Amino acid sequence: MKKGIIFSTLCLVSISNALNIKERGIDLSLGDTKVGQSIFSRYIRFDCNISYIKFAIIHTQNEWEDIAQAGKFEEEIFRVCPKITKKYAREWTPHLYQFAYYYAIDSGNIPSY
């Protein structure tokens, strides 16, 4: 099972690197899924009353990618969770992007709690 997770993560990083997705000067391919899940758990989950799964499945991987390529990823976070706007740190963006992309509705991945 771990080999599958590692392979999926490597594929995700490779895809992101190939696309070189950037949001307002931040390279989203440098994010880490586990760090994104930790940030989500600590700062977003309870403040916004949204579970990991409900957040990630809002969009497909292609939709998350399109949002990021349009430079709208942070805006989408604020749309889903307006309470986080004042707390939000820009350095969270690549990690939250990787988290959302990895656990998107069409990914087949389910976040553990």
pLDDT at 18: 39
The answer as to whether 92 is a domain residue is: yes
Please give the residue range of the domain that contains residue 39: 2-102
Domains held by the chain: number = 1
Residues 100/64, Cβ–Cβ less than 8 Å = yes
The answer as to whether 109 is a domain residue is: no
pLDDT at 87: 92
The answer as to whether 108 is a domain residue is: no
The answer as to whether 70 is a domain residue is: yes
pLDDT at 11: 47
The answer as to whether 111 is a domain residue is: no
The answer as to whether 107 is a domain residue is: no
The answer as to whether 110 is a domain residue is: no
The answer as to whether 13 is a domain residue is: yes
The residues, ordered by sequence, that sit 6+ positions from 59 with a Cβ below 8 Å of its Cβ are 67, 76, 100, 104, 105
What is the DSSP annotation of 24-61? TTEEGGG--HHHHHHHIIIIITTTTT--HHHHHTTS-H
One pLDDT digit (tens) per residue for the chain, 113 residues: 455 444 444 444 434 443 456 556 668 788 999 999 999 999 999 899 999 888 878 999 999 999 999 999 999 999 999 999 899 999 999 999 999 999 999 999 987 76
